[in-house]
Amino acid sequence: MTKGMDDRRKSLEEEYFHRKNQEAIEKLRAKMKVAEEAKAAGISSMKCPRCEGSLNESKFEEVTIDICDKCGGVWLDSGELEQVTQKETGGWFSRLWRSED
């Protein structure tokens, strides 16, 4: 294999990953737009990833969580799990968490 071919392969890989990244960003942007529009309209855009039920915001230890009205699944946004575990120091949640170690 010549150096020229290595370079060509590398640039093709870079182009591929660049395109994949762009696609991921576009999808994320579309998702955020839907969420923003729903928020502006005053409705929850969140659908349960498990059963397609609607997620209702609820408070747990002063942390907002989303609970599915169909299957009862509980969903946390990024950072919310940390908030719950911090507030629950010494509680069942952190004991459950630590038992994983």
Residues of this chain that bind Zn ion (CB under 5 A) = 48, 50-51, 53, 68, 70-71, 73
53 vs 97 by CB, closer to Zn ion: 53
For residues 54 and 94, which CB has a smaller minimum distance to Zn ion in the complex? 54
Closest CA to 54 of 66, 69, 43, 39: 69
Least separation in angstroms between residue 65's CB and Zn ion is 13
Q: Which is nearer to Zn ion, 25 or 71 (CB)?
A: 71
Residue at token pair 């915001």: 57
- Interatomic CA distance for residues 12 and 50, integer angstroms: 37
